[in-house]
């Protein structure tokens, strides 16, 4: 069984700036709360391209692991889809929509659920909620990073840090 967690947020910037930021893997650990590092495998520099392999180090609590993803679909300023190299159930997908006042970013994270009915219940009660929270926090981090809120993220002597 495959589960999907999906969220969206509006960013007050043109779609090309948002897409460029999101498609730069070096920025992922800055705003994706569950990503420790992300990099292209093999040689090659520049923009992401279809069929490229990406290695992502992720973390949940104390558990940290690496997974390989393939860039399945990339449409500049519209769509970025990464799918697990070993499992089509694992995926990270971004969709971008130009709006009057900015860009709407949709993020979906898909993952497999094992264990039959007990596994599905565990997923519904715990895993999906935690992942939805992580995706929401990630999109808020993206919005803050893009809209020039770096001083809000780092805080100052008179201001508490954002969570």
In the chain, the number of structural domains is 1
User: What integer pLDDT is reported at residue 45 of this predicted model?
Assistant: 60
DSSP states of 36-49? EEEEESSS--SS--
In a domain, 87, yes or no: yes
Domain with 84 in it: what CATH number? 3.30.530.20
109 pLDDT more than 50? yes
In a domain, 162, yes or no: no
**Per-residue pLDDT tens digits for 28-47:** 999 999 999 999 987 656 67
In a domain, 159, yes or no: no
In a domain, 160, yes or no: no
Q: Is 103 helix (H, G, I), strand (E, B) or coil?
A: strand
Structure tokens at 157: 């002597």
In a domain, 10, yes or no: yes
Q: Regarding predicted confidence, which is higher, 63 or 1?
A: 63
Mean pLDDT of the 66-92 span: 93
Q: How confident is the model at residue 101 (pLDDT cuts 50, 70, 90)?
A: confident
Cβ distance 139 to 131 under 8 Å?
Answer: no
What pTM was estimated for this model as a whole?
0.83
Give the structural domain span for 17: 2-152
Cβ distance 111 to 119 under 8 Å?
Answer: no
In a domain, 86, yes or no: yes
Q: Tell me the average pLDDT of the chain.
A: 87
Across 124-141, b (16+ Cβ under 10 Å) vs e yields eeebbeebeebbbbbbbb
R_g of the chain, CA atoms, integer Å: 16
User: What integer pLDDT is reported at residue 38 of this predicted model?
Assistant: 94
* Cα–Cα distance measured from residue 65 to residue 29, given in angstroms and rounded to the nearest whole number: 14
In a domain, 61, yes or no: yes
């Amino acid at each position: 069984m495959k589960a999907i967690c999906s969220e969206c947020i509006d960013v007050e910037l043109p779609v090309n700036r948002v897409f460029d930021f999101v498609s730069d893997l070096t920025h992922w650990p800055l705003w994706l709360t569950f990503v420790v590092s992300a990099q292209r495998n093999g040689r090659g520099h520049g923009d992401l391209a279809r069929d490229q392999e990406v290695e992502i180090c992720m973390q949940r609590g104390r558990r940290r692991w690496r997974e390989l993803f393939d860039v399945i679909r990339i449409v500049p300023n519209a769509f970025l889809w990464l799918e697990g190299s070993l499992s089509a159930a694992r995926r990270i997908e971004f969709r971008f929509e130009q709006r009057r006042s900015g860009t709407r970013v949709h993020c979906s994270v898909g993952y497999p659920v094992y264990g039959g009915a007990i596994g599905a219940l565990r997923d519904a009660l715990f895993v999906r909620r935690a992942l939805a929270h992580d995706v929401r926090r990630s999109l808020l981090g993206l919005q803050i990073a893009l809209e020039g809120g770096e001083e809000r993220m780092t805080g100052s002597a008179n201001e508490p840090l954002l969570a």
